[in-house]
Amino acid sequence: MTTDIFAPRFQDEDKAREHLEALRWPEGPFCPHCGSMNATRLEGKKHRKGLVQCNDCREQFTVTVGTLFERSKVPLHKWLLVNHLLCASKKGVSAHQIHRMIGVTYKTAWFMCHRIRESMNQPTGPLGGEPSRIVEADETWVGGSVQNRANKQAAPKKIVVTLVERGGHARSFHVANVHANTLRPLLFQHADRLSTLMTDQSASYTTAGRGFWQHKTVSHKFAEYARGQWHTNTAENFFSIFKRGVIGTYHHLSAAHLHRYCAEFDFRYNTRTDTDAERADQALRGIYGKRLTYRRPSSLAS
Ligand SMILES: [Zn+2]
């Protein structure tokens, strides 16, 4: 499969639909209303391209019914191209750049990017799962800007906590603070307690650490970054990519949408051994059964 941006599925709406159909319906179309596989393609000029009719419940549908792309006026090949660009760019792509590159308005580009981030929200099972598996937890500050153009006030930085299993997956969260009461439920929900927990010496992790098989800490104060295997370098590496994306691409991240940027950076990290084409297809598998429910914000700063 060609993966450059001149591949047919990025240029031609029919080819894009065929690509989505092959991913979604490997055994042929099935009805999103009743689940029946007994469906007939409605061919001919009278019908919208890609329209299928269920022979059981008689409802009509296309491959985008029930997805984040449903009812979008943007042609499917542009959706696939934006999806590919976001999946293939380590530091992300800004809505401004999408706007300029693919010829949609800035607002449309902004909404497309957030829908694709939502499709990238594909949580896996708990991290770790046995004593030999090390889950690092650490926090960082992102996204503050000197001035917020809308109100001329300094935009505060936000805190992101990341749990990352060495050799495994990362999961990041926007948190209001790093108190033990905030971090403990996150750790218990997203990491298996049979794992080894690895953090810095912050007291915020102490009580949570008692719930794990063992809790190892490393002191950042004395530049003791690597005491053999007891380090949080995996989390630090994850943050360095996240921060380069924030600084180089997204600049100011609004608190309302930060969880979606977390999903974006987690997703690319978790699929880091995939090719760009595989990663893009994996993101497309996440468009089903999701709707964005947020209202259109007055400011589209991020
Ligand atoms: Zn049906």
Euclidean distance between CA atoms 165 and 127, whole angstroms: 6
DSSP assignment, residue 287?
G
Taking the centre of ligand 1 as the mean of its atom positions, its distance from the CA of residue 59, in whole angstroms, is: 6
Taking the centre of ligand 1 as the mean of its atom positions, its distance from the CA of residue 78, in whole angstroms, is: 29
Rounded to 5 degrees, φ, ψ at 163 are: -105, 130
Taking the centre of ligand 1 as the mean of its atom positions, its distance from the CA of residue 35, in whole angstroms, is: 6
Taking the centre of ligand 1 as the mean of its atom positions, its distance from the CA of residue 61, in whole angstroms, is: 9
Model confidence at 259, pLDDT cuts 50, 70, 90, reads very high
Structure tokens, 218: 């490393």
The residue-averaged pLDDT of 32-46 equals 92
- Indicate the pTM of the whole model: 0.89
The residue-averaged pLDDT of 89-110 equals 95
Taking the centre of ligand 1 as the mean of its atom positions, its distance from the CA of residue 282, in whole angstroms, is: 26
The residue-averaged pLDDT of 262-266 equals 96
Bridge partners (DSSP) of residue 162 are 138, 172
Euclidean distance between CA atoms 20 and 199, whole angstroms: 42
Taking the centre of ligand 1 as the mean of its atom positions, its distance from the CA of residue 288, in whole angstroms, is: 17
Taking the centre of ligand 1 as the mean of its atom positions, its distance from the CA of residue 71, in whole angstroms, is: 19
Taking the centre of ligand 1 as the mean of its atom positions, its distance from the CA of residue 289, in whole angstroms, is: 16
Cα–Cα separations (whole angstroms), residue 200 to 56, 126, 163, 217: 59, 21, 13, 5
Model confidence at 210, pLDDT cuts 50, 70, 90, reads very high
211's CB contacts (< 8 A; 6+ apart) are 184, 187, 188, 193
Model confidence at 300, pLDDT cuts 50, 70, 90, reads very low
Taking the centre of ligand 1 as the mean of its atom positions, its distance from the CA of residue 57, in whole angstroms, is: 4
3-state DSSP call for residue 145?
Answer: strand
Which carries the bigger pLDDT value, residue 195 or residue 156? Answer: 195
pLDDT at 296: 47
Bridge partners (DSSP) of residue 142 are 158
Segment among 147-151, 169-173, 179-183 with least mean pLDDT: 147-151
Taking the centre of ligand 1 as the mean of its atom positions, its distance from the CA of residue 54, in whole angstroms, is: 5
Bridge partners (DSSP) of residue 174 are 160
Average pLDDT, the chain: 89
Model confidence at 235, pLDDT cuts 50, 70, 90, reads very high
The residue-averaged pLDDT of 291-299 equals 50
How does pLDDT run across 111-143, given as a tens digit for each residue? 999 999 999 999 888 999 999 999 999 999 987
How does pLDDT run across 48-78, given as a tens digit for each residue? 899 999 999 999 999 999 999 998 999 999 9
Burial 39-70, CB ≥16 within 10 A → b, else e: beeeeeeeeeebebbbeeeeeebbbbbebbbe
Structure tokens, 286: 């996440």
Taking the centre of ligand 1 as the mean of its atom positions, its distance from the CA of residue 62, in whole angstroms, is: 12
Taking the centre of ligand 1 as the mean of its atom positions, its distance from the CA of residue 90, in whole angstroms, is: 40
Taking the centre of ligand 1 as the mean of its atom positions, its distance from the CA of residue 146, in whole angstroms, is: 54
Task: Give the percent of the chain with pLDDT over 90.
Answer: 73
Largest distance between two CA atoms of the chain: 73
Burial label for 122, CB within 10 Å (0-12, 13-18, 19+), is middle
